[in-house]
Structure 1
Amino acid sequence: MMKAAMILPAIGVVAAVALSSMFIVDEREKVLVLQFGQVKQIKEDPGLGFKIPLIQEVVRYDGRILGFLTQPLEVTPLDDRRLVVDAFARWRIVDLVNFRESVGTEGVRAAQVRLERILNAAIREVLGSVPSNRVLSEDRTSLMNQIRDRARRESSALGIEVVDVRLTRTDLPEQNLAATFARMRAEREREAADEIARGNEAAQRVRATADRTVVELTSGARRDAEVIRGEADAQRNGIYAEAFGRDPEFFAFTRSMTSYERALRGENSSIVMQPDSQFFEYLRSDSVAPAPGQVDPGQGAPQAATQTAPVAE
């Protein structure tokens, strides 16, 4: 019984020592086995590992790609316009021993502090070599790649690799926003005024061309009308001349009838002329009897009362 009582505790101690000598590495982790601060073992593959109990310790690090956001940083581009910039970086541990020696026991937190300093220096160096318009443009891929490459070279001494860097904000400082917006508004108004001026100039050219075309078409139409009218008048005069040459008396009669028709339209007008006027020659009648109290012209009486002057209303 006494042997059994002594064996059971011994077995328990041995089991405890055996369990404390084993450790499990997760697939998302990387592990260092340290002995009195010195690296004795590196285990990056998932599975079961062993260490010396009470003498060695296991330090675990995240083996995934990590990310952090830098604090807003004020930079001065090539044209001396200050900008507020912050970036998002993605990084991972690639050399556990170098990483342990560089950051010590603080691990990832200390690494991010030092990486932020490296990124800030790279951002200032890259963005300070280009004008602000390029920084504020939508296509900043080349600038971000340059920042990533510089940060990657500087951070390699820490045992880490910078996977990617993205500029998340590139704004003007608050005190410069009003002046910048006013300048942008003035530039847009100037461009709008130029566009309006060019539009008015084009409209004037179109309007002048249209006016010239109208004048040319009108002048051509009037010229053609005058030519046609002259030809018609010549043809009419030729017809009149031919008709007059055939029967002058009939021509005179028709012209007189036309004149009567135009003069005696029944409108509110009157015509007063001498009785012996030739205008009404075709309206006279030789059989008209003399009025009472008048003497026949053959007897020597005056002829002024022989006919009454026609009056047309």
Structure 2
Amino acid sequence: MKRITYLVPVLILAIALLLSSIFVVDERQRALVLQFGQIRQVIEEPGLNFKVPFIQDVVYYDDRILSLDTAEIEVTPSDDRRLVIDAFARYRINDVVQFRQAVGVGGLRAGEDRLEGIINPTIRAVLGSDGVTSNTILSTERATLMDQITEQARARAAVLGLEVLDVRLKQTNLPAQNLEATFARMRAEREREATDEIARGNEAAQRVRAQADRTVVELTSEAQRDAEITRGEADAERNRIFAEAFGQDAEFFEFYRSMTAYERALRNNTTMVLTPDSEFFEYLGNSGLGATPARQ
């Protein structure tokens, strides 16, 4: 019974030692076995592994492609037009031993700080080189510039055990102090274009109105001319009919004209003051048609 009592703590201690000596590396990781801070083993394959309990430690590093969003920086291209650049990088830990030696116990956070300290100066150097203007950065040549940044950053990051796979520019903006001035200039330009368009529209409208007024005058003139011609032809036809009627029966024609004159003169209850011997109402004073007709 006493032997069993002694064996239980020993068994528990043995199990604890066994469990503390086992560690697992999955397919997304690589690991370093450290003994008193010194690298004793590099585990690059996934699976079950062993270490010396309480003496050796295991440090895991991500074996996947990682992403780093760098802080915004200002660059000055050769045309002295400052730009704010926001970039990101894709990288992986290529050599875990070299990475551990470079960053120490700082781990991935320290490695990313060191990598950002490489990428940002590289961006400034490439985008600020001779011949690179702000228009170049914003044009299709941007891809070539990003390739240059990637190649230079990859060469400089190799000492950290990192492989830079790609560096891309997410955004390219003007500094805040220049942005409002640029917007104001753009607004002024658009307002000037709008004013020009309005002026051209008014000019075109005036041409249309002038053409319409001219057309109205021409049509009115032609209509008046045609009316005068028609009126003249009608007067001529009337005179011809009167002449024919006068020629056929001059006495009846004179009588008809006198009756027409009476009708027109007395149409609106007109009061007329005439001398007793006036010839105007001669047909009314005589019973016969042979008297001398009144004159209009």
TM-score norm. by structure 1 comes to: 0.70
Distance 1:52 1:266, change over 3 A: closer
Which residue type is aligned with residue 151 of structure 1? T
| Partner secondary structure for residue 281 of structure 2 | helix
Higher alpha-carbon Rg: 1
Q: Which runs of 5+ in 2 are unaligned?
A: 289-293
The equivalent position to 1:258 in structure 2, one of 250, 260, 268, is 260
Q: Which residue matches 1:61?
A: 61
Which residue type is aligned with residue 231 of structure 2? R
Q: Which residue matches 1:147?
A: 146
Q: Which residue matches 1:161?
A: 164
Which residue type is aligned with residue 235 of structure 2? D
Report if the CA contact (8 A) 1:118-1:151 is conserved. Answer: no
Which residue type is aligned with residue 117 of structure 1? G
- Give me the CA root mean square deviation: 3.9
Q: Which residue matches 1:305?
A: none
Distance 1:164 1:84, change over 3 A: closer
**1:17 offset after TM fit, Å?**
5.3
Q: Which residue matches 1:222?
A: 224
**1:286 offset after TM fit, Å?**
6.3
Report if the CA contact (8 A) 1:144-1:167 is conserved. Answer: no
**1:98 offset after TM fit, Å?**
4.5
Aligned equivalents of 2:74, 2:232: Cα separation in 1: 88
The equivalences for 1:142-221 within 5 A come to: 143=142, 146-147=145-146, 150-151=149-150, 153-155=152-154, 157=158, 158=160, 159-163=162-166, 165-168=168-171, 170-174=173-177, 176-221=178-223
| Partner secondary structure for residue 275 of structure 1 | coil
**1:60 offset after TM fit, Å?**
0.7
**1:24 offset after TM fit, Å?**
0.7
**Deviation by residue 1:108-166 (Cα, 9 ceiling, x = unmatched):** 1222123223332344356542426975xxxx897478436623652362423345635
Distance 1:148 1:122, change over 3 A: farther
Aligned equivalents of 1:123, 1:273: Cα separation in 2: 121
| Partner secondary structure for residue 86 of structure 2 | strand
Distance 1:280 1:31, change over 3 A: same
**Deviation by residue 1:42-93 (Cα, 9 ceiling, x = unmatched):** 3253x31234556754221123444443223122245423233333444433
Distance 1:239 1:44, change over 3 A: farther
**1:285 offset after TM fit, Å?**
1.6
| Partner secondary structure for residue 80 of structure 2 | coil
2:26 maps to 1:26: yes
Report if the CA contact (8 A) 1:92-1:161 is conserved. Answer: yes
Distance 1:243 1:125, change over 3 A: farther
Distance 1:230 1:143, change over 3 A: same
**1:167 offset after TM fit, Å?**
2.3
**1:222 offset after TM fit, Å?**
1.8
- How many residues are paired up? 281
Report if the CA contact (8 A) 2:70-2:87 is conserved. Answer: yes
Q: Which residue matches 1:82?
A: 82
Q: Which residue matches 1:302?
A: none
Q: Which residue matches 1:282?
A: 283
Q: Which runs of 5+ in 1 are unaligned?
A: 288-309
Aligned equivalents of 2:163, 2:278: Cα separation in 1: 135
Aligned equivalents of 2:134, 2:274: Cα separation in 1: 100
Aligned equivalents of 1:226, 1:186: Cα separation in 2: 59
- The farther-off stretch of 224-233 and 146-155 is 146-155
